[in-house]
Chain A
Amino acid sequence: MPEKQTTVTGVSEAPPIVSEWRRFRRVFFQRKLVIFGLVILMMLVFNAIFAPWLAPHDPYRGKMADSLTQPGKKYLLGTDIQGRDTLSRLIYGSRTALMVGFLSVGFAGIFGMALGIVAGYFGGIINMIIMRVMDALMGFPMLLLALLLASVLGSGIQNVIIALSFATLPGYTRFIHGLTLSVRENDYILAEEAMGSSRARTMLRHILPNVFPPMIVLITLMLGNLILAEAGLSFLGIGIKPPGAAWGSMVADGYQYLLMNPVLSFAPGLTIMVVVFAFNMVGDGLRDALDPRLRGLL
C-alpha cells in the first residue's frame, strides 16, 4: 500500500471481519435436517403456486364411479367417497395451509410486534393496558379461542385466518414486549436519544432491527403451529367450506373409511406431520444462524 497510514492502537485487537451473510449461510446450511426442511418447504410453495398444472385430476369434482378407489395407476393415492383424487386434493390443500399460515402469521405478527414494542418502550399505563388485554386473551387456550371465534364468525377461510390471528396475537406481543424491555435498557438507546432521535424513530430504527431476528425465528416456528391449528379446525369442521380442500378436513373425511381405504386419512396426516416438522427444522436452523449469543460458537 503506497499510502502511509498512522498507526492506531486498538486496530490490531479488532476481531477479524467475517461477512455476516457468509456466517449466516455457513451456520444455516450446516445441519442436514435444516436443508431437508427447506427442500420440503420449497416443494410446498411450488405445489401451492402451480397446483392447477400439477394436480392430475379435478380436486373438487370426482367421478362417482371411481368412489373409494384404492391407490393405483389412475389415482396415485386413491379417491374418496365422492371419487375425488386424493393427490390432487392434497396439492390444492397446500394452498389453504399456506394461505392460512402466512396471512395469520402476517396479521398477528405485525400487530403483535407493534403492540409489543409500544408497550415495552413506553411502559407505564400504555404498557398496563396492552399487556393486560393480552393476558386476558392468553387465558384461553389457543385452539379454544380460535374455535370460539370461528364458531361466532362462521366457517370460511377468512374467518379461520381472523380467529387464528387473534389466538396467536398475545404470544407475539409478549415475546416482543420482553425483548423490547431488554433492548430499551441498552446504552445505545439512551445514546440515540441523546442524539436527538424522536421516540418513533428510536422504536422504528433502533428497537425494531434488534427484535427482528428472533421474531423471524418465532414466525417460522409459528407457521408450523398455525398449519397444525388450521388442520385441527378443519378436522373439527370449522374452516374451509366444502368442497374446498384442506388437509385437516381430508383426515376427518377419510377416517370414516379408515378400514376400507386407510390412505385417505394417512396421506394428509403424514403431509401435515412432515410440513410442520420442516417448519420446525428451518426455524431451529434460523435460530442458530441468527442468535447473536451463538456468534462465534457455531
Chain B
Amino acid sequence: MSTLLEVKNLATQFNTEGGVVKAVDGISYHLDEQEIIGLVGESGCGKSVSQLSVMQLISSPGRIVGGEIIFEGQNLLQFEANGPEMRSIRGAKIAMIFQEPMTSLNPVLTIGRQLTETLELHLGMSQEASRERAIELLRLVGIPSAEERLEDYPHHFSGGMRQRVMIAMGLSCNPKILIADEPTTALDVTTQAQLLEMMKDMVEQFRASLVIVTHNLGVVARYAQRIYIMYAGRIVEAGTTKDIFAKPLHPYTIGLLKCIPRLDEEEGRKLVPIDGLPPNLINMPSTCAFVPRCAYKSERCLQEPWPPLRHMGNQHYVGCFSND
C-alpha cells in the first residue's frame, strides 16, 4: 500500500526560561493508506507535540526546528502555519481529536452548529445540506435521535457521547488521516472499548488512516497494525504490533510490557514497574535518555551518543546497544 504521510527527522523545541526543551527530537515515521498506527509513550515524551507539529498547531514558545512532513507529495512545513494551505489541510485532509471530550466542544454553541461549521467551511455545503450530513454523521457514531440532539448544547451530553461527536466532527470532511490524541483516556473502561471499536469501524468505512496516540499499550494492541514506542522525544522502537508484543527489543518496551497484566500468562506473575521517572527534557545529554532507568545498560551507553534506529528484520527497528 502506498505511503500517505512520511515524517522525517521532525524536531520541535520549546524555548523556556529554564532552557531549551527538545520535546520532539528528530523522529521519523510513516503512515500508509488505510493503516492504523499507534504512538505509545509516557506523559511528556512528545507524543502529542509530534502530532500537533504535523498539524502545525504548535504555539509560542514552541517551534518546529527541523525535519520534513511529506503528505500527498508536499512538504507541509513549507506552508505557513496559519496560511490558507495549512487551513485547507487541517480538518479537511488531516483531522485531529483530543483527549478531553469534556472540554473539546465549545460550551456556548449547539452540537449541530459545531458539526455543520466544518462542513460549510471546507466543503462549501449549504445550510440544509450540512444539516442533513450532520444528522447522518451523528447516526453513524451511534447517537440516538440525532435530529433532536442537533439543537443540544455540549453540557447535555455525557463524556462518551461528546467523544462520539468529536469523532463525527473529525470524520465529517472525509479526511485522509485522523489523529486521535489519547481519545479514550478520560473515559471509563467499558466506554473506551466501545469507542475504539466504533472508531476503527468508522475509519474503515471512510477509508481513512488512523494514528492513535496513547500511553496505554493495551489500547493499541487490538487495533494498530504497527506501533511506534517513544521515549524522551525520540522513537526508540518501531515494528508491527505482533513483533512488539512477541519479541520486544528495547529495554523500555520490555519494561512497558511487564507493567501490563495479561490473561494468557502463568498465575502469580508480578507486575514490574519501571524504576525512576522520565527525564527532564531541559538540557538533555546526548547519550541515551533511558540509561538511568535501564536494566540492560553497559559502559557503552554512557559514552556513546544515543544510538540511531537499526533494522532488526521485517519492519522491526530499535535504537539500543543491548541488541548487538
Residues of A bordering B, CB below 8 Å:
5-6, 8-11, 13-15, 17, 20, 123-124, 186-188, 190-199, 201, 205-206, 209-210, 212-213, 292, 295
In the complex, which of the residues B96, B104, B153, B191 contacts A10, with contact meaning CB atoms closer than 8 Å?
A: B191
Is B145 interfacial (CB 8 A cutoff)?
A: yes
A123 touching B98 in the complex, CB below 8 Å, given contacts A11-B144, A188-B103, A188-B106: no
Cross-chain contact B55 with A10 (CB below 8 angstroms): no
A210 touches which of B97, B108, B117 (Cβ 8 Å): B108
Shortest beta-carbon distance from B115 to chain A in Å: 10
Q: Is the CB of A205 within 8 A of B60?
A: no
Given A10-B161, A14-B161, A205-B117, residue A191 in contact with residue B156 (CB < 8 A): no
In Å, the complex CA distance between A136 and B161 comes to 48
A/B interface sample: 6 pairs, CB < 8 A: A5-B145, A14-B156, A196-B122, A205-B117, A206-B106, A209-B109
* B191-A194 in contact (CB<8A): no
A6 contact set on B, CB distance < 8 A: 142, 144
| A18, closest chain B residue (CB) | B156
Q: Which of A11, A20, A188, A191 contacts B158 (CB 8 A)?
A: A11
Task: Name the residue among A6, A195, A197 with the largest chain B CB count within 10 angstroms.
Answer: A195
B58 to chain A, nearest CB (A): 11
Q: Please give the distance in Å from B156's CB to the nearest CB on chain A.
A: 5
**Is B82 in contact with A196, judged by CB distance below 8 angstroms?**
no
Interface string of B146-187 (1 = CB under 8 A from A): 000000110111111100101001000000000000000000
**Of the candidates B91, B155, B194, which one forms a contact with A194 in the assembled complex, judged by CB atoms under 8 Å apart?**
B91
Cα-based distance from A189 to B116 in the complex (angstroms)? 16
Closest A residue, CB atoms, query B179:
A194
For B163, the closest partner residue in chain A by CB is A10
- Specify the chain A residue showing the minimal Cβ separation from B100: A187
CB distance from A57 to the nearest CB of B (A): 50
Contacts of B291 in A (CB 8 A): none
Contact check, A198 vs B160: say whether CB atoms are below 8 A apart: no
Chain B: residues with Cβ within 8 Å of the partner, total of: 46
Residue B143, interface by CB 8 Å:
yes
Is B200 in the interface zone, CB < 8 Å from A? no
CA gap between A198 and B121 in the complex, in Å:
10
The answer to whether B90 and A195 touch across the interface, beta carbons within 8 angstroms, is: yes
Interface residue from B90, B121, B161 paired with A193 (Cβ < 8 Å):
B90
Q: Can you name the residue of chain B whose Cβ is closest to the Cβ of A201?
A: B121
A191 close to B107 (CB less than 8 A): no
Residues of B within 8 A of A212 (CB): 108
Given contacts A188-B104, A188-B105, A197-B121, 6 further A-B contacts (CB under 8 A): A9-B190, A10-B158, A14-B156, A191-B98, A191-B105, A193-B57
Instruction: Flag if B169 contacts A195 (CB, 8 Å).
Output: yes
Q: Quick one: which of A5, A187, A199 contacts B98, CB cutoff 8 A?
A: A187
User: Is A199 touching B82 in the complex (CB atoms < 8 A)?
Assistant: yes
Within 8 Å CB of B60, what residues of A? 123-124
Q: Is the CB of B106 within 8 A of A11?
A: no
- Per-position binary interface string of chain B over residues 88-103, scored 1 when its CB falls under 8 Å from any chain A CB and 0 otherwise: 1111100111111001
Least CB distance from B47 to A in Å reads: 15
Tell me which residues across on chain B come within 8 A of A205, comparing CB atoms.
109, 117
Q: Are B191 and A9 in contact, CB atoms less than 8 angstroms apart?
A: yes
A201 to chain B, nearest CB (A): 8
> Which single residue of chain B is at the shortest CB-CB distance from A197?
B121
> Which B residues touch A210, using CB under 8 A?
106-108
Contact B160 A192 (CB under 8 A): no
| CA of A269 to CA of B142, assembled, Å | 63
Residue in B closest to A189 when the chains form the complex, CB atoms:
B106
Given contacts A5-B144, A6-B144, A11-B144, contact A187 B158 (CB under 8 A): no
> Is B240 interfacial (CB-CB < 8 Å)?
no
Bound complex: CA A197 to CA B60 (Å): 18
Known: A188-B104, A191-B97. A11 touches B91 (CB 8 A): no
Residues of A within 8 A of B107 (CB): 188, 210, 292
